[in-house]
Amino acid sequence: MEIYNKQNKGYIEVWLSNEEQQMYDRAELTERLLAGVKKKKCRVAFFLSGSEDPYPLTENLLLTNLKTICS
């Protein structure tokens, strides 16, 4: 798990691996993180690892963008 405190921008980033997603309750983690926050308008953003192979997905994204630019 990686936590980046960006309260000055109004949010806290939390990065979770697949294994950590099973271990932690995000609602409880959100409450704990926001308990120590001074700003009332602060959010918690969760970034979750996926289960698919990123290479074909990235290739598709790049090809789609290339087709869009060229058309």
| Nearest alpha-carbon partner for 42 in 2, 8, 3, 1 | 8
Q: Work out how many domains the chain is built from and give that number.
A: 1
* Residues 6 or more apart whose Cβ sits within 8 Å of residue 24: 1, 16
Q: Are 1 and 16 in contact (CB under 8 A)?
A: yes
Containing structural domain, residue 35: 2-70
pTM for the whole structure: 0.70
* 13-67 pLDDT per residue, tens: 999 999 999 999 999 999 999 997 876 789 999 999 988 888 888 999 999 999 9
